[in-house]
Each structure stands twice: as structure tokens, then as C-alpha cells.
Amino acid sequence: MVILLLIAIVVYLVVSGVQVWLTSRESSPRPASAIIVMGAAQYDGVPSPDLQSRLNEALDLYREGLAPLIVVTGYKESGDRYTEAEAGGTYLEHHGVPSSAVAEVGGTDSYENLADADTVLKARGDQTVLITTDPFHEDRSMAIASGFGLMAFPTPTHTSPINGWSAVPYYFKEAIAVGVGRVIGYHELSRLRLGFG
């Protein structure tokens, strides 16, 4: 019985991993109310290469006129002077996006980031969003956003420095996060503080 349970768990996680991978290959840019940029590391106000790649994708979408607002997300680590959202907002403004077209929100993980973004968007009457993040992070971000009632479409960055074999551990981690999140709920997964980000 235990062996069958373990086999079932492995199969479930493999299926989750395949779904994460399939979603990572999707890109559906279209007119929307806003672009949500999922947070990533920043260094004293300067976006990390990973965050910069996400911001550049959002810039391209914004310049194409697909959305009038970019929502940047992310918190700060202990001792940091800036949040990921602040670093992202400053970067966008330095690249020509007016401050009125940027909203900064931030929680400690993907769920809280999207919860805060949802509050801002719903207050504006917005519902359709483009989710910009790394390809491996797209499936979970989309699922969380949809759980808030947002109509989310994937627009993963095409220039992430996390690619090739270096991305494999991230896909593995996301397969677990998605698999567990679907069972217990993404809100509960966030509350457990398991480090999924």
C-alpha cells in the first residue's frame, strides 16, 4: 500500500512537472489592463540580471501598447534598503515609463505579490493581466492570479539568464510547488513558508 502511494505521488509530481514545462513554452501577448512583473532579486536598488530580464520583457509589452500599467512586485531581504518592486519601478522609469504607469506592490512570495497586485488592480476595475516572469515560474504565477479572479495570460521573459541545464532545478522546484499548491491551496502553501518564493 505504501509503495502504491509513493508511486502515485511520483506520477502526480511528474505530471505537474510536465504541465509546468508546457506552460513555460506558452506566450500569449495581447491587449490587457496591466502587466504584472513577478519579483526577483535586486542589489541595492539595481535589478539582478534575472529581474532585469523580466522588466525588459514588460518594457517591450508596454511599448507595444498592450497595457497602460505595469505592476512591479517583490519585497526586500533583511538589511536591504530597497524592495524588488522599488528597484523595478526605478528601472522602468529610467527607461521611459512614466511613474503614473507604474504600481509598486510587494509581499514575501509569489502568492502575496499577486494578492497585493490584485488589490491594486481590482480597485482600478482591472481584470485582464499579462504575467511576466521566468518561464519555469509561469505556471504557478498564472494559477495564483487566476485564483484571485484575474484573467491572466503568459508573457514569460525570453532573455532569462536562468536557462538550459541551469534551469532544471528551478523546474523541479516549481513542479513540487505546483503539485503541493494544487492539493492544499496556494494560500496555505504561502503560509507554510517553505521557501518556494
Question: Is 102 inside any structural domain?
Answer: yes
Question: Is 37 inside any structural domain?
Answer: yes
Question: Is 24 inside any structural domain?
Answer: yes
- 110-125: per-residue pLDDT in tens? 999 999 999 999 999 9
Structural domain boundaries enclosing 112: 2-192
| Number of domain units in the chain | 1
**Whole-number percent of the chain with pLDDT over 90:** 87
Question: Is 197 inside any structural domain?
Answer: no
- 7-57: per-residue pLDDT in tens? 988 899 999 999 999 999 999 999 999 999 999 999 999 999 999 999 999
* CATH of residue 109: 3.40.50.620
3-state secondary structure of 82: coil
pLDDT recorded at residue 80: 84
Give the predicted TM-score (pTM) of the model: 0.94
Question: Is 97 inside any structural domain?
Answer: yes
Assess whether pLDDT exceeds 90 at residue 153: yes
